[in-house]
Amino acid sequence: MATIMDGKALAAEIDKTTTVRIQRLADQGIVPGLVVILVGDDPASKIYVRNKERRAKKMKINSIVRNLPDTISEADLIKIIQTYNENPTIHAILVQLPLPAHINEFNVTNAIAPEKDADGFHPTNIGKLVINHTEKTPIACTPQGIMSIFNAYHIDLDGKKAVVVGRSTIVGKPMAALLVNANATVTVAHSHTHNLSQLTREADILVVAVGIAKYIKEADVKSDAVVIDVGMDRDVNGKLVGDVDFAEVERKASYITPVPKGVGPMTITTLISQTVALAEWSSEKNG
């Protein structure tokens, strides 16, 4: 049976270190400021934003949530972002995704000042990640959280065959870049990939972010693989499950993340830690 990688416990450990860093900033009179912008009222997004706010408040981060109507124009949304770009009490800006169809995601992420990019989705920061110039660069929180899981469980990535299933900007693409930077040999699979199971069966490291409940079965996984499940799906009974059939795959893998309490908690912990990092980098720069 696989070792279950406990993202919730690891998140709590990382939060302790982040609390010390927040106190150190407080001693210099700095309170990290995070703005989370939610456009429209997608129920899942509302829950994620509420969770982010709750965690930020608990850790004494100045957290502002802007709820904007889904009728807002792209130009008006960008104007609001620009006011926070210029506000020195705000160190981190996040626009919750997905956005309504009339708003272009690229234009919006591109409007966030790269040095206030809580999510690491700005093209400049994605470019730095791909170039492996990652010092003082914000990185997408879910993949970065997964790297913290690998690190905590001493998973050696060097020379390993990694398969990332999913090519989103939020997870798949930055995950692939991080794995390449860690010297893994990386394949990115997606909805057009032929013979997916043949690929996943060769993976020493398998990261799955497809959004289909229990999609990856025991037969799709190599013995002793390390399996990371980014999915958050509902099964036929409405229960939260991942993209990996946990009960089957835990029998074959060496390590596996559960859903919930695996990758999900690490995303918010990484967001908080990155918000603090943006405040630290800003204070270093401004003396």
Ligand X SMILES: Nc1nc2c(c(=O)[nH]1)N[C@@H](CN(C=O)c1ccc(C(=O)N[C@@H](CCC(=O)O)C(=O)O)cc1)CN2
Distances (CA, A) of 24 to 18, 19, 51, 114, 170: 10, 9, 24, 24, 30
Maximum CA pair distance of the chain?
56
Closest distance to Mg ion from the beta carbon of 38 (Å): 15
β-partners of residue 285 are: none
Q: Which stretch in 24-32, 126-134, 191-199, 263-271 sits in contact with ligand X by CB under 6 A?
A: 263-271
Q: Which of 25, 39, 56, 141 binds ligand X (CB under 6 A)?
A: 141
2 close to 221: Cβ distance less than 8 angstroms: no
124 close to 139: Cβ distance less than 8 angstroms: no
Closest distance to ligand X from the beta carbon of 48 (Å): 4
Strand, coil or helix: 244: strand
Question: Which 86-145 positions form the footprint of Mg ion (CB under 5 A)?
Answer: 99
Number of chain residues interacting with ligand X (CB under 6 A): 18
By a kind-dependent CB cut-off of 5 to 8 A, residue 260 interacts, out of Mg ion, ligand X, none, with ligand X
Specify the residue, 167 or 217, whose C-beta has the smaller distance to Mg ion.
167
Q: Which of 38, 137, 264, 269 binds ligand X (CB under 6 A)?
A: 264
Burial class (CB in 10 A: 0-12, 13-18, 19+), 65: middle
Q: Which of 6, 96, 160, 214 is catalytic?
A: 96
Tell me: is residue 21 an annotated ligand-binding position.
no
* Catalytic residue check, 222: no
Q: CA-to-CA distance for 24 and 29, rounded, in angstroms?
A: 9
Tell me: is residue 166 an annotated ligand-binding position.
yes
Question: Which 144-163 positions form the footprint of ligand X (CB under 6 A)?
Answer: none
78 close to 106: Cβ distance less than 8 angstroms: no
Q: CA-to-CA distance for 65 and 50, rounded, in angstroms?
A: 9
Task: Give every CB contact of residue 216 below 8 A, 6+ residues apart in sequence.
Answer: 165, 200, 206, 208, 227, 229, 243, 244, 245, 249
Closest distance to ligand X from the beta carbon of 181 (Å): 19
Give the nearest residue (CB) to ligand X: 264
Q: Which of 15, 52, 173, 214 is catalytic?
A: 52
Q: CA-to-CA distance for 238 and 230, rounded, in angstroms?
A: 18
Closest distance to Mg ion from the beta carbon of 106 (Å): 9
174 is a contact residue toward ligand X (CB under 6 A)? no
* Catalytic residue check, 136: no
Q: CA-to-CA distance for 163 and 204, rounded, in angstroms?
A: 8
Question: Which 218-237 positions form the footprint of Mg ion (CB under 5 A)?
Answer: none
* Catalytic residue check, 239: no
Tell me: is residue 167 an annotated ligand-binding position.
yes
Task: Give every CB contact of residue 220 below 8 A, 6+ residues apart in sequence.
Answer: 196, 197, 200, 201
Specify the residue, 215 or 222, whose C-beta has the smaller distance to ligand X.
215
124 close to 114: Cβ distance less than 8 angstroms: yes
Q: Which stretch in 18-26, 209-217, 258-266, 273-281 sits in contact with ligand X by CB under 6 A?
A: 258-266
Q: Which of 6, 15, 119, 204 is catalytic?
A: 119
Closest distance to ligand X from the beta carbon of 196 (Å): 23
* Residues of the binding site: 166-168
* Residues of the binding site for NADP(+): 166-168
Q: Which residues are catalytic?
A: 52, 96, 119
Using CB under 5 A, list all residues that contact Mg ion. 99
